[in-house]
Amino acid sequence: MSDSANLGIQTVLHPVSDLEKAKAVYTALLGTPPQVDSSYYVGYEVAGQQIGLVPNGGPQGMTSPVAHWHVSDIEAKLAEVTAAGATVKEPPREVGGGRLVATFTDTDGNVLGLVQDQ
């Protein structure tokens, strides 16, 4: 059993080619304006989930939506999943406000994400 608690999927990031057009669609879908609205990220918080729009897949080169599990210890969880056969795609990095994010691929190449809030 892990000492890096899994708090569930709370963040899903979507790569978009046109941020303004995507923002209009997601604002209509979610029924609320974004809480974060910048040229490199637009974020919504709805029903306890964070929905993010990342222009052109951002520096991580996303090609499809990525679900992010929130965990209490990102390093420990990465160690657990890699010991089980996963491969680190992007190691933990701070994205602001003490938040760490990382991505890894499962044994079929699916990209999964982790988030740790400090």
- The 10s digit of each residue's pLDDT in 30-49 is 999 999 999 989 999 998 89
**Residues 17, 90, 87: CA angle, nearest 5 degrees:** 120
Neighbour tally for 5: CB within 10 Å: 12
User: Residue 1: what pLDDT?
Assistant: 45
pLDDT tens sequence across 7-16: 889 999 999 9
| Alpha-carbon dihedral 32, 96, 87, 45, rounded to 10 degrees | -10
Closest CA to 75 of 88, 59, 62, 60: 88
User: Residue 3: what pLDDT?
Assistant: 58
> Is domain 6-116 classified as CATH 2.80.10.50?
no
User: Residue 114: what pLDDT?
Assistant: 96
Q: Identity (one letter) of the amino acid at 43?
A: G
Neighbour tally for 63: CB within 10 Å: 9
What parts of the chain have a pLDDT lower than 50? 1
User: Residue 2: what pLDDT?
Assistant: 53
**Total H helices, total E strands in the chain:** 2, 8
pTM for this predicted structure: 0.81
| Domain-wise residue ranges, the chain | 6-116
Measured distance CA(85)–CA(106) in Å, rounded: 7
